[in-house]
Amino acid sequence: MDLVRDVLDKRLMDREDCEMGRVDGLVMRIGENSQPRITHIEIGGRTLWMRLHPGIAKLAATLARRWGPKRTTTVRIPWSHVVATGKELKLDVEARETGAIDWEIWIARHIIERIPGGGHEEEE
């Protein structure tokens, strides 16, 4: 399997087939003499903006401190939760618990649901 072609930037689905975002980064652990291993998938936040430019990452962090869900660390999901790869990556987690959709929930609750006709995010 090739990481850039088959994993990076692919969509992520949780165990209920909910959208979780995309693979924005992959963390590789390197040891002195041991084979490097991929330990985590990173989603959104600093990781994503760092791919453009560190300056943009700083700006995004400043804006996120003032507005939006209060989250201080990038969403990290251990690689061991990857169930299947292919057109998208399937993970053995629940999207809500990982924090991957914090922004979606925040915007739903604070903006969308306040407008008539917006519905309720909890509804099924």
CB of 23 to other proteins, least distance (A): 9
Question: CA torsion 113→42→78→122, rounded to 10°?
Answer: 10
Report which residue type is found at 76.
R
Closer CB to other proteins, 97 or 123, in the complex: 123
CB of 34 to other proteins, least distance (A): 9
Tokens coding 2: 């090739």
Binding site for other proteins (CB under 8 A): 1-5, 8-12, 19-22, 24-30, 35-39, 42, 47-48, 50-52, 79-80, 82, 87, 103-105, 107-108, 111-113, 115, 117-121, 123
CB of 96 to other proteins, least distance (A): 13
Question: Which residues touch 99 (CB under 8 Å, ≥6 apart)?
Answer: 71, 75
CB of 97 to other proteins, least distance (A): 17
| DSSP reduced 3-state for 47 | helix
Distance CA 49, CA 103 (A): 16
Closer CB to other proteins, 31 or 72, in the complex: 31
